[in-house]
Homo-oligomer: A and B are copies of this chain.
């Protein structure tokens, strides 16, 4: 049980979990082998075993893993034991999409949405009323939401994040294209759509040449 786990490993655990859930639906069977999981994820089986071994031993040698037990183990490792409360800041295109997306995902639940546009404040998206962004701190603290999605223009992102941090948010999914400053106990993950498109463009150009 190592202390520092490669980030790629954690990402893959999430992939494994999704595969397992898909397999459950398809009545795949009780037993699951690293090579099956690997094939589904388009990686090699030794990566699967390596990844799992960071966290302990979950399988039976010569046999494989118990599907249900492995699923539970991965959920526990990732901390997905109960529904997580999420607040969304910025109800533009992307914020709205996230609210819609998360409503159809279990494991996460949008409990509040914020914007600073008076036109939007007070309106509803599904069951969620849009609150004024000035109230981020008290509302978030009160709801005990640990995760926030930030989908506001870049120049407002840091301000919003400061309020979220005061509201005791511990994890932020940031769609704004700026690096955010947060205390050590807060994690930020970046979704950089423009960067992804630009990397894609680079790859296209490169492959054309070779």
Q: What is the interface of chain A, defined by CB distance below 8 A to chain B?
A: 7, 10-11, 13-15, 17-18, 41-42, 77-80, 84, 86, 92-94, 96-98, 100-101, 105, 107-108, 146-147, 170-173, 177, 179, 181, 184-185, 187, 189, 191-205, 207-208
Whether the Cβ atoms of B194 and A79 lie closer than 8 Å is no
Whether the Cβ atoms of B10 and A202 lie closer than 8 Å is yes
Enumerate 10 A-B pairs (CB-CB under 8 Å) in ascending A order: A11-B195, A15-B195, A79-B202, A84-B197, A98-B193, A101-B193, A147-B200, A173-B200, A187-B203, A187-B207
Whether the Cβ atoms of B192 and A199 lie closer than 8 Å is no
A172 CA / B201 CA spacing, docked (Å): 10
Copies in the complex: 2
Whether the Cβ atoms of A199 and B14 lie closer than 8 Å is yes
A195 CA / B9 CA spacing, docked (Å): 12
Main secondary structure of the interface of A (DSSP, over half): helix
A192 CA / B173 CA spacing, docked (Å): 12
Whether the Cβ atoms of B194 and A18 lie closer than 8 Å is yes
Whether the Cβ atoms of A100 and B93 lie closer than 8 Å is yes
Supplied contacts A7-B199, A107-B197, A171-B203, 4 more A-B pairs, CB within 8 Å: A17-B198, A94-B97, A172-B200, A189-B200
By a CB distance below 8 angstroms, the chain B residues around A14 are: 192, 194-195, 198-199
A132 to chain B, nearest CB (A): 22
Whether the Cβ atoms of A94 and B84 lie closer than 8 Å is no
Whether the Cβ atoms of A201 and B7 lie closer than 8 Å is no
Known contacts A193-B101, A193-B191; A79 and B171 CB within 8 A of each other: no
A41 nearest CB neighbor, chain B only: B179
